[in-house]
Structure 1
Amino acid sequence: MDISPGTWNSSFGGAGSGGGSLSGPWYSTHKTQLLGALLAAASNFLISVSLNIQKCAHLRLVCRAEQKPYYRSKLWWCGITLLGLGELGNFTAYGFAPITLVAPLGCVSVTGSAFISVFFLKRTMRTADILGGTLTITGIYLLVTFTPNVPQELTARQVQNYLVSWPFLVYSIVEIIIFCILLYFYKRKAVKHIMVLLMMVALLASLTVIAVKAVSSMIALSVNGKMQLTHSIFYIMSVLMATSCAFQIKFLNQAMHLYEATAVVPINFVFFTTSAIISGVIFYREFQSATLLSVFMFLFGCLLSFLGVIIIARNKKEGHLQIPFIDCGHIPGQKLTGKIQPDSHSSCYGTLNKEDDSVKRQS
């Protein structure tokens, strides 16, 4: 890992790299992963647009005098369609760029949502949003510039070799032990701390990104004429991808149910990105030939992205729908003077206990 002037120039697009032009050596060697980075950034931005559109659709439905299910809203379906396209773009990006580059670009979704909400949800732009966005953009630039250049054509045989390599086997054993310990505290001890939940999400995410990278790369090779779909490893990785993703969503939804999104989003991003980078380094050996300077600047770019997301999410007030209360004094037969709040998990209002033990629910 030597740091030479040629390395510095090629990293920054200096004299040795053709001035950073599209015809320079840097672009020639990084054009595939640059395409993946642009695709990942655009996909995450599209996801942030879709989430804001869905939120806008829900708010419009609440304000209407005649209520109707959200799935009958054209605006909501528009948001869902964009969300599907964004996730498809993210999946495709793993076939062109390393995990260590695609995973951190999830910060585009958080940053984009902060700015897009100004237009869709009429929220005010904060100084923290501008500062966080600046740090995130700087971090993205460093990530793209100093990401290790590794071959992105992964055949089924290469994936099999990676799967049985001793570094990944050791990593898998350690990860399984940690996950089982966390799951024991979650199930048996009823410990539902945000760190416990999101650490389980991150451990599952490391398997998800490994499988997504393998499946996406094998599909890309098959489309280009090098058939990989006949190998059993393709279907093994597909099942691993679907299973780990399903459980990941389960624990993430649990965290979102128990804690505010302003706390879940930044912690989940940091945990997920860290876990994805570690899995990319161990499984796909993406930093095997990287220079010390590239590793340092890449990690510094990750740190800036983490800080940017945390600053944007910090002290961000969440909008809550105003749910009306029922004054018990206006209910026939009731002498209570308190108020009953609607049950957030039901379409009915809370139970009124009467002295004769008969129970009525007010809808």
Structure 2
Amino acid sequence: MANSSSLHAVPQMTSAQAHQAEILQNPFRTYLLGIIIAICGNVLISISLNIQKYAHVRQSQRGSKPYYTSVLWWCGVVLMGIGELGNFAAYGFAPASLIAPLGCVSVIASAVISVVFLKETVWASDIVGGSLAITGTYLLVTFAPHNTTHITAQLVQYYAISWHFLLYLLIETVVFCILLYLYKRRNVKHIVVVMLLVALLASLTVISVKAVSGMITETIKGQLQLIYPIFYIMLVIMVVSCAFQIKFLNQAMKMFDATEVVPINFVFFTASAIVAGIVFYQEFEGLALLNIFMFSFGCLLSFLGVFLIARRRPKIKQPDRNFIAMDRIPGRRHTDKVQPEAESTTYGSLAAKFMCNRAGPTDDS
């Protein structure tokens, strides 16, 4: 019996010591590098989104060529790719529970760029929200776990078979199946249901992204990690979870307005990323109670700031109140729309065509 278990004894012994040996206490330069990369990546993402938005507006005004023929639009796409690559690399240097909340930097930068360059209106809620988000970001950086772990293939394998992660994975799978059943079979199209599906997938994405990024970082440093099967398992999980996450997120953007999707997605994604970092990578192990409280308070301030900033953003999806959908009339199954009354003063006139393209809220008087 002892001989048969000797093969398992060595990995267990080295894995138990791995968490103690692989952690560097207060590696300031590595920790700071991850923060800087994440902030720069999020700023680039916000710049790219506003560049693409400006390209859309300019092309729609010209009305000559599709937006994807614009050089400016492609510049925005390239910047977004660089920003996402920076976020990916940041997971290899800093804890996942810190990198995910720093996504609020993108919201703050996007609001500033929209006001300065796109001449959008500044509201009091924008100023208050930005102040709260910046304060929350400062608390996150100050009180987040400062321990940086060398993510090796052996360490990822050890974390993947730990009982707390297996229990977490079981609970997450059950909840995901229930939500998917409600969404697909029961046709429950509530925004919370869709965003929870995205968040549950995001937790797997964060775990796999940090694992892949960390192993690539160690490989670049000279410790080859790409020969282990766990690297490719995590790579597949990363790609699949990202694909389905984008799928559900796009469905949410079609059903709901961006001012609702963006803040809820940020809150749910951040919470799932923090929980994933705590459960899988044990990032809060040994952290003082004061640090945990202030870190949680920083997250709360960031959440409130993002909500205040996003609530005043221009709505993308506007209901057309000049037409009545046929499927809303009892006994009708058509999807056509009823034209305005012929007795209307604007019926058939050029003014009616402009009114059909005008935003809904301005039609109420």
TM-score (ref. length: structure 1): 0.80
Query: In the alignment, does 2:271 pair up with 1:274?
Result: yes
Deviations 1:321-358 (A, max 9, x none): 99999x989xxxxxx969789x99xxxxxxxxxxxxxx
User: Is residue 53–residue 79 contact of structure 1 (8 Å, CA) maintained in 2?
Assistant: yes
Corresponding residue for residue 360 of structure 1: none
Taking a change above 3 Å as real, the CA distance of residues 194 and 188 of structure 1, as seen in their structure-2 partners, is same
Corresponding residue for residue 52 of structure 1: 50
Matches within 5 A, 1:125-136: 125-136=122-133
SS of the aligned residue for 1:198 comes to helix
Match of 1:224 among 216, 221, 241: 221
Corresponding residue for residue 312 of structure 1: 309
Following superposition, the deviation at residue 119 of structure 1 comes to 2.8
User: Is residue 53–residue 120 contact of structure 1 (8 Å, CA) maintained in 2?
Assistant: no
User: Is residue 47–residue 87 contact of structure 1 (8 Å, CA) maintained in 2?
Assistant: yes
Query: In the alignment, does 2:85 pair up with 1:83?
Result: no
Matches within 5 A, 1:191-206: 191-206=188-203
Deviates more, 1:239-248 or 1:144-153: 144-153
Following superposition, the deviation at residue 70 of structure 1 comes to 1.2
User: Is residue 136–residue 298 contact of structure 2 (8 Å, CA) maintained in 1?
Assistant: yes
Deviations 1:239-260 (A, max 9, x none): 0000000000000111111111
Corresponding residue for residue 259 of structure 2: 262
User: Is residue 151–residue 215 contact of structure 2 (8 Å, CA) maintained in 1?
Assistant: yes
User: What CA distance in whole angstroms lies between the structure 1 residues aligned with 2:177 and 2:306?
Assistant: 30
User: What CA distance in whole angstroms lies between the structure 2 residues aligned with 1:30 and 1:300?
Assistant: 23
Deviations 1:191-228 (A, max 9, x none): 11100000000000000000000000000000010000
User: What CA distance in whole angstroms lies between the structure 1 residues aligned with 2:274 and 2:144?
Assistant: 11
Match of 2:69 among 61, 72, 90: 72
Aligned length: 310
User: What CA distance in whole angstroms lies between the structure 2 residues aligned with 1:166 and 1:321?
Assistant: 48
SS of the aligned residue for 1:158 comes to helix
Corresponding residue for residue 180 of structure 2: 183
Deviates more, 1:146-155 or 1:134-143: 146-155
Q: Which amino acid aligns with 1:32?
A: T
Deviations 1:164-196 (A, max 9, x none): 100000000000000000000111111111000
SS of the aligned residue for 1:289 comes to coil
Corresponding residue for residue 293 of structure 1: 290
User: What CA distance in whole angstroms lies between the structure 2 residues aligned with 1:235 and 1:268?
Assistant: 28
User: Is residue 34–residue 90 contact of structure 2 (8 Å, CA) maintained in 1?
Assistant: yes
User: What CA distance in whole angstroms lies between the structure 2 residues aligned with 1:315 and 1:103?
Assistant: 23
User: Is residue 126–residue 312 contact of structure 2 (8 Å, CA) maintained in 1?
Assistant: no
Runs of 4+ in 1 over 3 A off after TM superposition: 319-325, 336-341
SS of the aligned residue for 1:288 comes to coil
Following superposition, the deviation at residue 309 of structure 1 comes to 0.4
Corresponding residue for residue 166 of structure 1: 163
User: Is residue 211–residue 237 contact of structure 1 (8 Å, CA) maintained in 2?
Assistant: yes
User: Is residue 206–residue 273 contact of structure 2 (8 Å, CA) maintained in 1?
Assistant: yes
Matches within 5 A, 1:23-172: 29-65=27-63, 67-172=64-169
Q: Which amino acid aligns with 2:37?
A: L
Structure 1 residue runs of 5 or longer lacking an equivalent are: 1-26, 330-335, 345-363
User: What CA distance in whole angstroms lies between the structure 2 residues aligned with 1:208 and 1:30?
Assistant: 26
Corresponding residue for residue 14 of structure 1: none
Following superposition, the deviation at residue 71 of structure 1 comes to 1.2
User: What CA distance in whole angstroms lies between the structure 1 residues aligned with 2:254 and 2:219?
Assistant: 41
User: Is residue 129–residue 312 contact of structure 1 (8 Å, CA) maintained in 2?
Assistant: yes
Q: Which amino acid aligns with 1:38?
A: I
User: What CA distance in whole angstroms lies between the structure 2 residues aligned with 1:235 and 1:192?
Assistant: 35
SS of the aligned residue for 1:95 comes to coil
CA RMSD of aligned residues (A): 2.6
